[in-house]
């Protein structure tokens, strides 16, 4: 790999200790802080999920009272989405790896980057501390009016939730500006569009979506805060649909904000672990950007029972089905990459296969619900809960763990224990399906979502019991991951490039030095490290 010498600028930096973390503007340290923060929130929201599942394990349980139950699923959904999945993928992996993968020494605006992190952490703490001390919202993560108006949610908990999400939106919008500028202007010489790594393409598309979608949600949140506190009337009277339009204009794209980076991760890992180039690279890139654009055309599919004009509903039914096309293209490309490859079946690849198997199920139930008549039947039932967990857990969470096993050695310099990794994967895969597959049937049998308990004799007992057992199996598998992570310090040394990777992050030490690259590399293909290995004669 050729390279260019550019002097490393000196930064006045606090070198070590706690202050070194608090005052850091290094994208890698900020990335690690995002990861630790998000993972902690994942555990918190996971504990809430276990309480929810305990309460539903059998009819007429009294683990928590109905009010607490509402608060629990509201916070579970909000934390999983806003404080775990998005900050882990975008803030964590995006921050750590985008500069390394494009051959840059940092992001374009390092101080703004630190600001985005601290505002995100601050917002998260406000929401969680509010929750712990009893200032709780119970209007679900969707905060639909009129539930979220002063008449139905008079307490401060709702305001805290609203302000928390506004602050999170500011953090993620600033982060998006930073990523776009970084990818646009700081790529290594020679890194033309088709040579940009798949994860970076995914992150740039995601950043574009964040930039377009988040301001609409932020505006809606401000309007609701004003309605609640300053007697404005944006959402009162018959303006229920207005909230739903503004909310889903952000929150449908948010699904892709959570899935595109995970798809980027899978597109990085599968070629490396199949020892083949990515099949149809350009088709994958074009599909990524298309998903980003089409993601903005489908939001009304959440509103098929809200009284929208039927002609408009039909348009959105069509667009929702169309978005399955670029998604299908990607799935075929991943399968074609795996096909005939010499598979290295280590944990990162297993997690990707878990992603593929489960995400496809979520995608199919998604297309089913795009159909207006079917959606009107399953709307607000457990079928929906099954569907979006297949997408968000089966997709994003498997992608996140794939990334942790794949890039963990780069971040820490140590290898995970493969045996524990495999145990984690299989137990999580089984636990996940045991938890969420029965929910499809519960939904079809008429069990509504967001109910705190149910009477016996409706045929829902077995499905709920099985689902709760599965949830504890997931928790056990995550415990194995935590043990594996704690054991890392005694792990085998990773070296620079333990997987024989393709992209630039594997050309530097593990963990990388603060300046990333002593000399800026130049790039001649979409697999610069593969090229370098080909040039070095084997000994």
The residue ranges that bind Cu ion (CB under 5 A) are 252
| By CB under 6 A, residue 77 contacts ligand HEM | yes
Judged by CB under 6 A, the residue of 107, 259, 329, 392 near ligand HEM is 392
Rounded Cα–Cα distance for residues 326 and 340 (Å): 23
What are phi and psi for residue 3, nearest 5 degrees?
-155, 165
In eight-state DSSP terms, residue 81 is I
Query: 493 in helix, strand or coil?
Result: strand
The reply to whether 161 sits near ligand HEM by the rule CB under 6 A is no
Q: Is 143:215 a contact under the CB 8 Å cutoff?
A: no
Euclidean distance between CA atoms 276 and 117, whole angstroms: 37
Among 150, 239, 449, 533, binds ligand HEM (CB under 6 A): 449
Euclidean distance between CA atoms 21 and 15, whole angstroms: 9
CA gap 386, 77 in Å, rounded: 14
Q: How far is the CB of 391 from ligand HEM (least distance, A)?
A: 9
Looking at beta carbons only, is 277 or 448 nearer to ligand HEM?
Answer: 448
Q: Are strands 520-521 and 3-4 parallel, antiparallel or unpaired?
A: antiparallel
Smaller CB distance to ligand HEM: residue 338 or 378? 378
Instruction: CB nearer to ligand HEM: give 71 or 173.
Output: 71
Q: Which is nearer to ligand HEM, 24 or 70 (CB)?
A: 70
Binder among 52, 204, 217, 300 for ligand HEM (CB under 6 A): 52
* Cβ-based nearer residue to Cu ion, 198 or 384: 384
- Shortest Å distance, C-beta 370 to ligand HEM: 19
Residue 57 lies near ligand HEM (rule: CB under 6 A): no
- Calpha distance 496→188 (Å, rounded): 20
381 or 510: whose CB is closer to ligand HEM?
Answer: 381
Asked if 365 contacts 386 with a C-beta cutoff of 8 angstroms, the reply is yes
Q: Does 74 bind ligand HEM (CB under 6 A)?
A: yes
Q: Is 130 in the site for ligand HEM (CB under 6 A)?
A: no
Tokens linked to 257: 């904000």
Q: Does 393 help bind ligand HEM (rule: CB under 6 A)?
A: yes
Of the residues 396, 484, 507, 516, which one makes contact with ligand HEM according to CB under 6 A? 396
By CB under 6 A, is residue 80 in contact with ligand HEM? yes
Closer CB to ligand HEM, 141 or 334, in the complex: 141
Write down the least CB distance from residue 262 to Cu ion, Å: 16
**168 touches ligand HEM (CB under 6 A):** no
Question: Which residue has its beta carbon closest to ligand HEM?
Answer: 77
The per-residue b/e assignment along 301-330, b for 16 or more CB within 10 angstroms, e otherwise, is: bbbbeeeeeeeebeebbebbeebbebbebb
Exactly one of 206, 358, 369, 435 binds ligand HEM (CB under 6 A); that residue is 435
Would you say 142 or 412 has its CB closer to ligand HEM? Answer: 142
As a whole number of angstroms, the distance between CA 511 and CA 372 comes to 51
**Nearer to ligand HEM among residue 61 and residue 140 (C-beta):** 140
Total binding residues toward ligand HEM, as defined by CB under 6 A: 25
Q: Of 114 and 400, which has the nearer Cβ to ligand HEM?
A: 400
257 counts as binding ligand HEM under rule CB under 6 A: no
Are the beta carbons of 143 and 137 closer than 8 angstroms? yes
Residue among 379, 389, 410, 424 that touches ligand HEM (CB under 6 A):
389
Question: Which residue is listed with tokens 């929201």?
Answer: 45
Q: In terms of Cα–Cα distance, which of 216, 201, 210 is closest to 249?
A: 216
Q: At its nearest, how many Å lie between Cu ion and the CB of residue 319?
A: 11
Residues 6+ apart with CB under 8 A from 44: 79, 128
Residue 474 interacts with ligand HEM (CB under 6 A)?
A: yes
Residue 252 interacts with, from Cu ion, ligand HEM, none (CB under 5-8 Å by kind): Cu ion
Cα 250 to Cα 212: distance, rounded to the nearest angstrom: 8
CB neighbour class for 339 (10 Å; exposed up to 12, middle 13-18, buried from 19): exposed
Number of alpha carbons in the 13 Å side-chain half-sphere of residue 85: 28
Provide φ and ψ at 319, rounded to 5°: -60, -35
CB of 53 to ligand HEM, least distance (A): 5
Please, what is the angle between helix 240-274 and helix 281-294, to 10°?
A: 170
According to the binding rule CB under 6 A, does residue 471 interact with ligand HEM? Answer: yes
Among 141, 247, 249, 406, binds ligand HEM (CB under 6 A): 141
Distance CA 41, CA 44 (A): 5
Give CA separation, 317 vs 243, 314, 500, in Å: 20, 5, 44
Q: How far is the CB of 488 from ligand HEM (least distance, A)?
A: 23
CA distance 489 to 239: 56
Nearer to ligand HEM, 71 or 337 (CB): 71
Measured CA to CA, the distance from residue 315 to residue 370 in angstroms comes to: 11
- Select the binding partner of residue 414 from Cu ion, ligand HEM, none (C-beta < 5 to 8 A, by kind): none
411 binds, among ligand HEM, Cu ion, none (CB under 5 to 8 A by kind): none
Closest separation in Å from C-beta 496 to Cu ion: 41
Q: Is 450 in the site for ligand HEM (CB under 6 A)?
A: yes
Instruction: Give the nearest distance from C-beta 384 to ligand HEM in angstroms.
Output: 9
- Under the criterion CB under 6 A, does residue 73 sit at the interface with ligand HEM? yes
What SS3 class is residue 126? helix
Q: Is 142 helix (H, G, I), strand (E, B) or coil?
A: coil
- The residues that touch ligand HEM, with contacts defined as CB under 6 A, are 46, 49, 52-53, 73-74, 76-77, 80-81, 85, 140-142, 385, 389, 392-393, 396-397, 435, 449-450, 471, 474
């Amino acid at each position: 790999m050729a390279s260019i010498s550019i002097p490393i600028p000196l930064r006045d930096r606090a070198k070590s200790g706690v202050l070194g973390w608090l005052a850091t503007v290094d994208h890698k340290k900020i990335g690690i802080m995002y990861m630790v923060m998000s993972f902690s929130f994942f555990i918190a929201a996971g504990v809430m999920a276990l309480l929810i599942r305990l309460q539903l394990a059998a009819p007429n349980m009294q683990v928590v009272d109905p009010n607490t139950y509402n608060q629990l699923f509201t916070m579970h959904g909000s934390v999983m989405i806003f404080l775990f999945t998005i900050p882990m993928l975008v803030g964590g992996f995006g921050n750590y790896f985008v500069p390394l993968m494009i051959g840059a020494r940092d992001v374009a605006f390092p101080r703004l980057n630190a600001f985005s992190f601290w505002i995100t952490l601050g917002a998260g703490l406000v929401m969680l501390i509010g929750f712990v001390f009893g200032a709780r919202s119970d209007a679900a993560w969707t905060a639909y009016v009129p539930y979220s108006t002063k008449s139905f949610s008079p307490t401060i908990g709702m305001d805290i939730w609203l302000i928390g999400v506004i602050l999170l939106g500011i953090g993620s919008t600033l982060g998006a500006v930073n990523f776009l500028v970084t990818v646009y202007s700081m790529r290594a010489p020679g890194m033309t569009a088709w040579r940009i790594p798949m994860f970076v393409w995914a992150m740039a598309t995601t950043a574009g979506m964040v930039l377009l979608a988040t301001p609409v949600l932020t505006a809606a949140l401000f309007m609701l805060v004003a309605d609640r506190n300053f007697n404005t009337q944006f959402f009162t009277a018959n303006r229920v649909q207005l909230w739903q339009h503004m909310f889903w204009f952000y929150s449908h794209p948010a699904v892709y904000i959570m899935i595109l980076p995970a798809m980027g991760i899978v597109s990085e890992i599968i070629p490396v672990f199949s020892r083949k180039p990515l099949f149809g690279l350009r088709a994958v890139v074009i599909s990524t950007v298309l998903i980003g654009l089409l993601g903005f055309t489908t939001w009304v599919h959440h509103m098929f029972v809200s009284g929208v004009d039927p002609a408009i509903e039909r348009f959105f039914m069509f667009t929702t089905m169309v978005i399955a096309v670029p998604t299908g293209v990607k799935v075929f490309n991943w399968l074609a990459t795996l096909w005939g490859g010499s598979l290295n079946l280590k944990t990162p690849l297993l997690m990707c296969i878990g992603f593929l198997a489960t995400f496809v199920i979520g995608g199919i139930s998604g297309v089913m619900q795009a159909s207006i008549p079917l959606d009107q039947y399953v709307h607000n039932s457990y079928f929906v809960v099954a569907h979006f967990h297949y997408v968000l857990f089966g997709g994003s969470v498997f992608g996140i763990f794939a990334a942790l096993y794949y890039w963990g050695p780069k971040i820490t310099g140590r290898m995970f224990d493969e045996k524990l990794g495999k145990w984690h994967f299989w137990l999580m895969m089984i636990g996940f399906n045991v938890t969420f597959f029965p929910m499809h049937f519960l939904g079809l049998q008429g069990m509504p979502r967001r109910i705190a308990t149910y009477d016996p004799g409706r045929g829902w007992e077995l499905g709920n019991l099985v689902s709760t057992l599965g949830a504890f199996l997931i928790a056990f598998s995550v415990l194995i991951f935590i043990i594996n992570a704690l054991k890392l310090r005694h792990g085998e040394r990773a070296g620079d490039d333990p997987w024989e990777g393709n992209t630039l992050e594997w050309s530097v030490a593990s963990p990388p030095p603060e300046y990333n690259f002593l000399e800026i590399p130049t790039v001649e293909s979409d697999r610069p490290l593969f090229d370098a290995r080909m040039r070095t004669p084997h000994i």
